[in-house]
Every structure is written in C-alpha cells, then in structure tokens.
Homo-oligomer: A and B are copies of this chain.
C-alpha cells in the first residue's frame, strides 16, 4: 500500500491506514505495547499525520474501537447466516459461522474490542465504553432472531433473549482467551460446539450429526 504522492493525491488515506494498522497491531500486541511509532511505520505515515488525525493515543484507541464496530457490523450484516427462513436456524448458522472463521493466525480472527476492553477497562474509560458499545451493539443484532425463535418454538424458560445474546458473546470472547493461552484455535472451536449444543438444548432440537 504505497504512500500517496503529491502527483496522485489520494489524501485522507492516512487516517484509514492508521486505523487498519491499529486493528492488526493491537490485536497482536495489545494496546499499551503498541507504540505510536509502530502504527506510523505500518501505516507508512509520519507522526505529524498521526497527531493531525488523532489528538492522542487514547483518541486513536476510541477511533479504532468505532472503526471495528463499523467494519464488523458490515461484515456480519453481509454474511449468509441470515439466509434461513427459520429464526432458530439463523441463530445456529450464526454460531456455525463464528466457528468457521476461527482459523489460521490468532491475531487474524480474535476480537479487537474484547482485547482492548480487557486491558484498558480501568485506565481508559473512553476506550472501554467504545469497546462496550461495539460488543453490545453486536449482541443486539442477535436478539430479534432469538426472540422470534422462542415464539416460533413456544419456549418458556427463565432466560431472556438479551441475556442469551450476551452469553453467546461471552462464550466467543472466552474461547479466544483459551485459544491464546493454549496457542491453539481448536480450543476456541471446541467451546462453540458446546454453545451450539446449549442452544439446541434450549430449543429442544436434536444435535447436528455432521460436525
């Protein structure tokens, strides 16, 4: 990704390249260990460009969380797990989709805002809240399907769609931690199998043999 020259000025690219660099580097090293110089080098911009676009390193953290929220919501909105006509099938397809994208390099599939929230929740409330909005904004996209599936299948139970949606996220985030601690993505996929089984249990449907 070449620097914009003075002749062909696609200027304004610095901000996006810095956010992309932040997304990749922070997932690998964490927020505190990521330096402004790291980001500038990877994005091929100077410090002047950094502090022109972001008032501080913390401000970049907030912007990175918002950038993550925007790009991932687009990514999930476009995914095919929304296709099934049955709401429960959409939920199970979502879990299967989350499992399917867990592969390859850890920093490539783990969650930026989960990582950042874990690290800065006490020292940087602004970043923490931006991460919170990203996470809980995503869980909210599941609620309607859970609610619909519950109606369709006549499920009672002393749980809410909201809490199940959040629990889904908790399992995913926790799965990432085990994968990192054990340095093995399979540890994450394993937990998603349990989540799949739990949801099928809740809705009284049989387990999927082809796993």
Tell me the A residues contacting B by CB distance below 8 Å.
Answer: 28-33, 106-107, 113-115, 117-123, 128-129, 131-132, 135-136, 158-159, 163-164, 166-167, 169-178, 180-183, 187-188, 190-191, 193-194, 197-198, 201-202, 207, 211
CA distance A191 to B160 in the complex (A): 12
Q: State the majority secondary structure of interface residues on A.
A: helix
Q: How far is the CA of A164 from the CA of B197 in the complex (A)?
A: 11
Number of copies: 2
Cβ–Cβ contact B166 & A178, under 8 A: yes
* A30 cross-chain contacts in B, Cβ below 8 A: 30-32, 118-120, 123
Complex interface: chain B residues within 8 A of A164 (CB): 194
- The residue that A135 contacts in the complex, of B181, B194, B197, with Cβ under 8 A, is B181
B190 & A167 in contact (Cβ 8 Å cutoff)? yes
A188 surroundings in chain B (CB, below 8 A):
170
Given contacts A33-B123, A115-B118, A172-B174, 6 further A-B contacts (CB under 8 A): A29-B122, A29-B123, A30-B123, A159-B194, A170-B177, A174-B177
List, in ascending order, chain B residues with CB within 8 A of A183's CB. 121, 128-129, 132
Tell me which of B158, B159, B180 contacts A118 (CB under 8 A): B180
